[in-house]
Structure 1
Amino acid sequence: MADEDGSGLLPPAPSPLWQRAVPVIVLAGITAAQLATPNGVELGYFLAAVPPLAAFAYGPVGTVVLAAVTFAGVLLPHTRDWYPHSGDILTLAVVVVFSIVVARVRQRRDHQLVTVRTVAEAAQLAVLPPLPDAVGPVRCAGLYQAAQHGTLVGGDFYDVREGPYGVRAVLADVQGHGLAAVGTVAALLGAFREAVLDEPTLRRVAARLDRRLVVDSGSDGNGELFATALLLEFPPHESVVRVVSCGHPRPFLLRGRTATEVGADPAPPLGLGLAGLAPPDELRVELAPGDRVLAYTDGVTEARDGDGRFYPLAERLPVLAAHHGLTALTEAVRDDLTRHAGRADDDVALLALGRTD
């Protein structure tokens, strides 16, 4: 991530055109006004505003260029018997030096912000990579929106993987949100991806995730790590989906223009050490051609409008189900949620799945 000069900093995006135009317009306007005013009326001291404006729109080089033009406008005679006092020149010189320093500091800050943003995007791709359009015989689409403004990753996550027991998916909501939850998300994702290959049942997958959180809670010394999770399995050569819920909201089965809530009664959340003692119930749901399964986190249904009303996902889905594409469906839910509640106060994750055959 180094730039051309080897500084290790990425080039920031240029300032908006209007912002870069302001100091030039001010310089040209004051110069024109100075030339148009009668002798004895001096406006040149207003040019001292140009270098600070340039510092917020250009880098140090651009600021130096505009400062040099400003000095020329002050020092060169304007066909009149007036010359600047030495104190005016010294004041302008101080302003110019200060502006160049500000421009340099701003440029370095912009470089650092771009680098941090790039690292955050790389972390998102590592923790929550984009889903392919299909995993084996299962079509899929995911949508994620972090509650913490400007944050790309948070406490909700999803993944879809193919293994020897079919295609398995997880949608989970870990304790907390924002950057503090990223470590737990990464640990659960790693455990899930291993369990997809090793564990013969969804109950065993849930037990593996539960053990991961229990172990991490003990190593952290706080004993408070927990997460809700929904596990789905599309076994090979069967038009069914198996569902296990660990404290997570039930998904919806979309069939035509109908939306039906499915799933067994949720088991306790992960991280309490109960999945291995009392395995969660597993529900088997028959799938017809064209059926889709929509899973979500509670950031969707707990979003409130200005009057405090929760977002009615179950009521809205029959209308939104008209969007046949999985990506279009998740985006339609997101847009409808935004119209209802604005930006949600909690992380929002949606996962839509359907068989290709």
Structure 2
Amino acid sequence: MTVAATRIGHDAERVAALEAYGLLDSELESRFVGYLTMVADFFGMNQAAIAIADDSDLIIKASVGLGDAVRIPLQGSFTEAALMSGEPVVVEDGSSDARFHDHPSVVAAPFLRSFAVSPLHAAGGERIGVFALADPRPRSFSGAELQNISRIVSWVEAELAAERESQRARDVQRALQPPVKLDVPGYDVDGILIASHDVGGDFYDWRSDATGVALTLGDVMGKGTGAALLAATIRGALKTSVVTEPGCVESRVATAAVALDEEFAAAEAFSTLFHAHLELADGHVAYIDAGHGLAAHLRPDGRSALLSANNQPFGLNPVDSWQVGTVTLEAGDTLMVVSDGMLELGDGTLSALLTDLADLGSAPRLAEAVESLILRRSGRSAPPDDVCIVRVRRH
């Protein structure tokens, strides 16, 4: 057998790209299977596959017509020829092609005759894998069909790159979340964020200082990576202001608003925001609610009340001053701050929300209670909209 390629071997840049894309250790990509089925049918081909290449094997990420195949030796294969040349390898009849006429896949099962294999490139140009079509029948490929294959390859490359960016955004969002619980004397402080998509615009944070705890929960207009990036920017600005403006919620929010004015204008976005400072000694909470309106004071006797939304949303327009509200947590009281995803889990009314918050407020483990509620109401683990919660319970 003569193949115009030698073993691809170890390529540090290619391996680095595969690791950055998270493809070496990932499972089969089921999201591509339906698309490959459609593509195989469109071209009238028996097999279609998306695969990536490690040092010695072709690792199947999604396929149609290949059965349970997961790894295929790369050396001397059609795919290695495409990867080595960097160009598509198109064969109309393998049995009469000098490069492949004695290839094992041609002379024995699955007795392939026609195939089109195109290299897949990472964003930096590294050849990380292939898109392949194959069939046991000889066939020709028109110029229009080759152009369509090229478009498919571009789409697959874009999808892989988008998934990489989404994964990076998920990693950043997870890294920016505070610990699950904050240990402070006399109080339990915990929170949770469950995104409806890969990433979202909801965020929460807390930070201890000399006298208490700064608490933040926000909901950026929009969804996806853009909202998540702006959420991270807001969170960072508020965290900085907590350090530079200790104990004064008005100064903190005002400082962050001025710092972020250009970012909000450029993004044409805004955020609802609840930012507060809890004094540990007496349970006094000073807060600014910027168009959020979803913070509740729950008492152990069953009484509950929503705190007032006393300011416009964060980032809409510069304001001269921010109105500060107050509430005091007595022994047994709970402060619950949530995003509007909690409304969508109920019937959309504030009375139903308060009922849900009372249940979550008394739950021993917040995360388990929220996950159970989402599954019970929506029938799936991901909520219809991002759900973000901060809970403060005074002993």
- TM-score normalised by the shorter chain: which range applies? 0.5 to 0.7
Aligned residues: 295
Larger strand percent: 2
Return the match for 1:121 from 159, 170, 176: 170
5+ residue gaps, structure 2, are 1-9, 30-45, 50-63, 79-102, 121-128, 133-152
Instruction: Find the counterpart in structure 2 of residue 181 from structure 1.
Output: 227
Question: What TM-score does the superposition give when structure 1 sets the normalisation length?
Answer: 0.66
Return the match for 1:244 from 288, 298, 309: 288
Matches within 5 A, 1:1-357: 6=12, 7=14, 8=16, 9-10=18-19, 11-15=24-28, 53-54=65-66, 57-61=69-73, 68=104, 71-73=107-109, 92-95=112-115, 98=116, 104-105=130-131, 115-116=164-165, 118-126=167-175, 128-137=176-185, 138-147=187-196, 149=197, 151-152=198-199, 154-199=200-245, 200-218=247-265, 220=266, 224-256=268-300, 258=302, 260-275=304-319, 277-289=320-332, 291-302=333-344, 312-338=352-378, 344-355=383-394
Displacement after TM superposition at 1:282 (Å): 1.8
Deviation digits for residues 117-143 of structure 1 (CA, Å, limit 9, x no counterpart): 5423322234x3242421544533322
The answer to whether the Cα contact below 8 Å between 1:295 and 1:350 also exists between their aligned partners in 2 is yes
SS of corresponding position for 2:357: helix
Counterparts in 2 of 1:184 and 1:168: CA distance versus 1, 3 Å: same
The answer to whether the Cα contact below 8 Å between 2:204 and 2:390 also exists between their aligned partners in 1 is yes
Counterparts in 2 of 1:254 and 1:304: CA distance versus 1, 3 Å: closer
The answer to whether the Cα contact below 8 Å between 1:170 and 1:230 also exists between their aligned partners in 2 is yes
SS of corresponding position for 1:195: helix
Displacement after TM superposition at 1:72 (Å): 3.2
| Distance in 2 (alpha carbons) for counterparts of 1:345 and 1:133 | 25
The answer to whether the Cα contact below 8 Å between 2:374 and 2:383 also exists between their aligned partners in 1 is no
| Distance in 2 (alpha carbons) for counterparts of 1:257 and 1:343 | 33
The answer to whether the Cα contact below 8 Å between 1:143 and 1:349 also exists between their aligned partners in 2 is yes
Deviation digits for residues 176-203 of structure 1 (CA, Å, limit 9, x no counterpart): 2222223321221111111111223112
| Distance in 2 (alpha carbons) for counterparts of 1:274 and 1:73 | 71
5+ residue gaps, structure 1, are 17-47, 75-88
Counterparts in 2 of 1:334 and 1:201: CA distance versus 1, 3 Å: farther
Larger helix percent: 1
Amino acid aligned to 1:282: G
Counterparts in 2 of 1:68 and 1:140: CA distance versus 1, 3 Å: farther
Amino acid aligned to 1:346: D
The answer to whether the Cα contact below 8 Å between 2:180 and 2:192 also exists between their aligned partners in 1 is no
| Distance in 1 (alpha carbons) for counterparts of 2:47 and 2:374 | 46
The answer to whether the Cα contact below 8 Å between 1:321 and 1:329 also exists between their aligned partners in 2 is no
CA RMSD in angstroms, aligned pairs only: 4.2
